[in-house]
Amino acid sequence: MGRTRANKEEIVQQLKESLSDSQLAFVIDYQGLSVAEITDLRNRLRPNGGSCKITKNTLMHIAVDGDDNWQPMQEFLQNSSAFLFAGEDVSAAVKAYKEFKKATKKTELRGGVMEGRALTKEEVEALGDLPSKEQLYAQIAGAINGVATKLAVGVKEVPGSLARAIKAISEQEGEAA
């Protein structure tokens, strides 16, 4: 009996660690998935810093109880739950899950929690439509390069504009005299 309790406490501690390393946690109903399919889901999540844990709802309930950031998850704890954790690249983790769901035609997304707020199924799926971190970096770099190019062209134009302005003023003064 003591071993079982210690085992449960260890699982709760692991869940708390997974949550503390996550930006987003979402819950799916995994009923009907084979061990191979669950392994496939984990393999899809791993490259993006995501993970998947299957445990009893009661243990997750204990793990999030009293934690303002994750407590909203309690509303999704029912039936057979798998918990997906997303690190920094939230979008990539959600995309990986959506691709898995499309391939297997199984699982149902219940909702998730991010920054202390419960998210609906639709809100979690919308996060998967956002650009990935790498795409955002590329867009920002492109914008910075564009601004830098325009600035360089503008700075290069200043002496010419200044010279034209001085010439125009001197011509006006010459005509006035």
Q: Which regions of the chain does DSSP assign to beta strands (E)?
A: 24-29, 51-54, 81-86, 108-114, 117-119
Reported confidence tier of residue 88, pLDDT bands at 50, 70, 90: confident
Q: Three-state DSSP class for 111?
A: strand
What b/e sequence results for 97-116 when a residue is b if at least 16 CB atoms lie within 10 Å of its CB, and e otherwise? bbebbeeeebbebbbbbbee
Q: Where are the domains of the chain?
A: 2-130, 131-177
Instruction: Please report the pLDDT score of residue 151 as a whole number.
Output: 66
For 104-126, write each residue's pLDDT tens digit.
Answer: 998 999 999 999 999 999 999 98
Domain 2-130 is of which CATH architecture?
A: 2-Layer Sandwich (3.30)
Q: Which residue did the predictor score with more confidence, 163 or 65?
A: 65
Instruction: Please report the pLDDT score of residue 173 as a whole number.
Output: 75
| Overall pTM > 0.85 | no
Share of the chain above pLDDT 90, in %: 57
